[in-house]
Amino acid sequence: MCKIITRMISRVLYISTLVLTLLILGVSSTVTENKGASFGYMGTHGPGEWGRLSPEYSECAKGKLQSPLNIMKTKVVRSKIFKPLTRNYVPANATLCNNQFNIGVKYEGDAGSMEVNGKTYSLKQMHWHSPSEHRLNGVRYPVELHLVHQAEDLSLSVVAILFNYSTPDPLLLKIKEKMEELSKEVCAGNEEAHVPLGILDLKLLKKNTRKYYRYVGSLTTPPCYENVLWTVLGKVRSISHEQVAAIKAPLKSDCKNNARPCQPLNGRMVELYEDLSRN
C-alpha cells in the first residue's frame, strides 16, 4: 500500500527501494517493470525497439493494423449515415494512477459504457498522452486523452480526444490537487502510485461528438494488441500549459513525451461520421 509522505523521507525511501529492487531482481537498468518487459519512449527501450523487448510485444513490430495514425482529412471516407456516438457514463469511484509511462484514471465497478454496432463496451480506464499520438492532417497536438472501453468478449474500443493549448480543461481542473498529490507519492516495490479520486462524473467528456473518425487499429503501448476499434473525436478541446506540465510531472524521464509515432495505414479505411443536420 502506498503512503503519502514528505518529500525528504520519500526520497530516502525511494532510493532504498530502488537499491532493494535492483538487488532482488538483479536488474541493472530501470524499475519500470509493469507486468511485461519495461519500455519507454527513448533510446534502447523506445518505440522502434518495442517489438524486440519481449516475445509478447512482437505485434508492435510485425502488426499490420497498428496505431496511432496520421488522419488525412482528404483521404477519409465520409459515411453516408451519421451514427451518433452512443455513450452512457455514470458517476463512478475512480483512482488516479501513475503507470510510470502515463498518468491514468481507473474505475472500480460500473462507470457506464459506449455502444458500437449493437455491442456494449464498458469504460475501464482513461489515460493521457503528451504530445498527441494521432495527428489530424499531420498536426500533432499537445495532449491526447484515451478512454478505454472493453466488451464482454474482451475486445477493446478506445475514444481519443485531442487537446490544444488554450483555456484549462474542466476535468483536469477538478482533479488538480489529486494530481499534485500523485506527483509526490512514491511506492514501495513494483506497485504503482495511486490516489483515490472519489466519485468522478464524466459528463464533461460526452460533449462535442458530432464529428468523429473511426478505424480499426491497436493499443499504442506494448503489447500493441490489434483489432482495437478507434474513435477519434473531430472536435479539439482546450487545455492549459500548466495542466500539460502537471500530467508530465510524475512520469519517469524517458516517458515524459509518451507518444508513439504514427504507424502505416496499410490500406485501412478511416471513416468520417459527421452530423451535418445541425450547424
Ligand X SMILES: *[C@@H]1O[C@H](CO)[C@@H](O)[C@H](O)[C@H]1NC(C)=O
Residues that bind ligand X (CB under 6 A): 93, 139, 164-166, 196
166 vs 227, which CB is nearer to ligand X? 166
DSSP one-letter code for 75: T
Provide the minimum distance between the beta carbon of 170 and ligand X in the complex, in angstroms, as a whole number: 18
34 vs 93, which CB is nearer to ligand X? 93
List the Cα angle 99/131/235 in 5-degree steps.
110
C-alpha cell at 169: 480543461
User: Do residues 143 and 161 touch, judged by C-beta distance below 8 A?
Assistant: no
Tell me the H-state helices in the chain: 7-25, 50-53, 58-62, 170-174, 176-184, 241-248
List all residues 6 or more positions away from 33 whose beta carbon is below 8 Å from its beta carbon.
Answer: 25, 27, 190
Provide the minimum distance between the beta carbon of 166 and ligand X in the complex, in angstroms, as a whole number: 6
137 vs 253, which CB is nearer to ligand X? 137
Provide the minimum distance between the beta carbon of 142 and ligand X in the complex, in angstroms, as a whole number: 8
User: Do residues 39 and 260 touch, judged by C-beta distance below 8 A?
Assistant: no
C-alpha cell at 77: 471516407
Provide the minimum distance between the beta carbon of 140 and ligand X in the complex, in angstroms, as a whole number: 9
228 vs 247, which CB is nearer to ligand X? 247
Provide the minimum distance between the beta carbon of 7 and ligand X in the complex, in angstroms, as a whole number: 25
Torsion angle of C-alpha atoms 206, 85, 126, 239, degrees rounded to 10? -50
How far does Cα 53 stand from its chain's mean position? Answer: 21
Provide the minimum distance between the beta carbon of 196 and ligand X in the complex, in angstroms, as a whole number: 5
Q: Considering only CA atoms, give the Rg of the chain.
A: 19
Q: Are strands 193-200 and 92-98 parallel, antiparallel or unpaired?
A: antiparallel
User: Do residues 253 and 81 touch, judged by C-beta distance below 8 A?
Assistant: no
196 vs 264, which CB is nearer to ligand X? 196
17 vs 93, which CB is nearer to ligand X? 93
Rounded CA-CA distance 167/46 in Å is 32
61 vs 236, which CB is nearer to ligand X? 236
Provide the minimum distance between the beta carbon of 243 and ligand X in the complex, in angstroms, as a whole number: 13
